[in-house]
Amino acid sequence: MAFSWPADNNGRMTLCRPPFLGRPPFLGLPTALAVLSALLPFSAAAESCHINGHDKPPVIRLDASMAEPVYSRDLNKHELTVRHGLLKTGQTELGLTTSEVRLNVRPKVWFLPRPGGGCVVLEAVEVIFRIERVHVDIASDYRTDSCAYQVIHAHEDQHVAFTRQAFNAALPEMRRLLATAANYRRSTLTRSRSSDAAAHEVLNDIMARIQPAYQAYQRQARSLNASIDTQQSYAALHNRCRAW
């Protein structure tokens, strides 16, 4: 499992499901995500303010999509096993699906300085929630017309389907949380003393408020993937073919 979150709280998270015939699934939540939530607390209410000429509700846009999977046979069993750190376990990796998730918040704000801070009005906010890359490795040891290749391909296709299912299931909650967050930050007093600082404050707040939707996606994806990444499942797959 790899997880990255740049300092500006906008970035990409690379999720790697347990490899076919690999180690047991990692079920813990990423530490970085828990730390982010702790660093960005938000109160239940905020003191509102007003800037003349900026009374309209914020424009809200959610850009959500999932890329089509790309299949690769560039690596053989040994190379896949080494790349994903399984060589010392005695297990061999035959297939692996990874996905890269992008989550960005882009607010547009108006800022009016006041003593001790200012008034910040959210004019528009765009959230980009995309699965930008879905990569499927299948060991090159197997011919594409072989039984083993077909079994591995079908197994990885199931993981792709699970990723899409979890992503689509998270979208309604992402929309709801985004609308709630935008309404909350519609016009509020802030201690920030510049428009850039106020915009960053709004970005952080909205990012924190939409985290439950991302976490729900992540939990469901892990749960679905884990359901077919078991020793029993692997044994059943092996029994379908004579040659491995």
Count the alpha carbons within 13 Å of 166 in the hemisphere toward its beta carbon: 23
Please state the separation of Cα 201 from the chain's center in Å: 22
> What percent of the chain has a predicted confidence (pLDDT) above 70?
79
What region does 122 belong to: left with phi over 0, alpha with psi -120 to 50, or beta? beta
Residues 119-142, mean pLDDT to the nearest whole number: 96
Q: Which of 200, 187, 177 is nearest to 47 (CA)?
A: 187
Residues 56-85, mean pLDDT to the nearest whole number: 93
Residue 67 above 80 pLDDT? yes
User: What confidence tier does 88 reach under pLDDT thresholds 50, 70, 90?
Assistant: low
Mean pLDDT of the chain: 82
User: What confidence tier does 53 reach under pLDDT thresholds 50, 70, 90?
Assistant: confident
pLDDT digits (tens, 9 = 90+) for 8-30: 344 444 444 444 443 222 222 22
Distances (CA, A) of 235 to 19, 222, 230, 238: 14, 21, 9, 5
Q: Which of 112, 125, 103 is nearest to 198 (CA)?
A: 112
User: Which residue did the predictor score with more confidence, 37 or 215?
Assistant: 215
Residue 87 is predicted with a pLDDT of: 66
Contact present, 212 and 173 (Cβ < 8 Å): yes
Report the alpha-carbon distance of residue 161 to residue 134 in Å, rounded. 11
pLDDT digits (tens, 9 = 90+) for 131-180: 999 999 999 999 999 999 999 999 999 999 999 999 999 999 999 999 99
The radius of gyration of the chain from alpha carbons, rounded to an integer in Å, stands at 22
Residues 109-114, mean pLDDT to the nearest whole number: 91
Q: Which of 124, 129, 123, 125 is nearest to 104 (CA)?
A: 129
Per-residue tokens: 78: 């040994």
Residue 6 above 70 pLDDT? no
Residue 41 above 50 pLDDT? no
Residue 60 above 70 pLDDT? yes
Q: Which of 91, 23, 21, 34 is nearest to 212 (CA)?
A: 34
The interaxial angle of helices 231-238 and 147-184, nearest 10 deg, is 140
Q: Which of 44, 237, 42, 200 is nearest to 122 (CA)?
A: 200
